[in-house]
């Protein structure tokens, strides 16, 4: 297997905020997002580098998005799910990010 094939099948994806912070998450968590799944499953550069630059999201917002992706992954099949904490001051920005990320 070549190095590029190993990169494509990496179990991890790196998300980079617009202020330069990196978040390494599992590919499984990234696949919760329709937008990220589309970027990773096509011929976009992101699919070969396993790195996605999130120009729209700063580090605080991206951290909360990552937290939600793992929350969704953990509670996806359950009926009685605990409430996901959303700070009031982030609510509008998270709603826009959720729409963009298709989650």
pTM of the predicted structure, to 2 decimals: 0.86
Of the candidates 27, 14, 10, the residue with the CA atom closest to the CA atom of residue 62: 14
Tens-place pLDDT, residues 51-83: 999 999 999 999 999 999 999 999 988 889 999
Contacts of 24 (CB under 8 A, 6+ apart): 12, 13, 14, 15
Cα–Cα distance for residue pair 88/77, rounded to 1 Å: 27
pLDDT computed for residue 3 by the predictor = 47
pLDDT computed for residue 70 by the predictor = 97
| Residue ranges of domains in the chain | 3-101
Q: Are 38 and 46 in contact (CB under 8 A)?
A: no
Across residues 44-51, what is the average pLDDT? 88
Task: Tell me the CATH number for domain 3-101.
Answer: 3.30.710.10
């Amino acid at each position: 297997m070549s190095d590029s094939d190993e990169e494509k099948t990496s179990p991890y994806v790196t998300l980079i905020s617009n202020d330069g912070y990196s978040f390494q998450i599992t590919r499984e968590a990234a696949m919760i997002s329709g937008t990220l799944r589309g970027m990773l499953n096509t011929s976009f550069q992101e699919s070969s580098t396993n790195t996605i630059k999130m120009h729209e999201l700063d580090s605080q917002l991206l951290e909360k998005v990552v937290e939600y992706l793992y929350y969704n992954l953990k509670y996806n099949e359950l009926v009685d799910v605990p409430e996901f904490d959303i700070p009031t001051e982030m609510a509008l920005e998270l709603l826009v990010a959720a729409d963009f990320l298709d989650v």
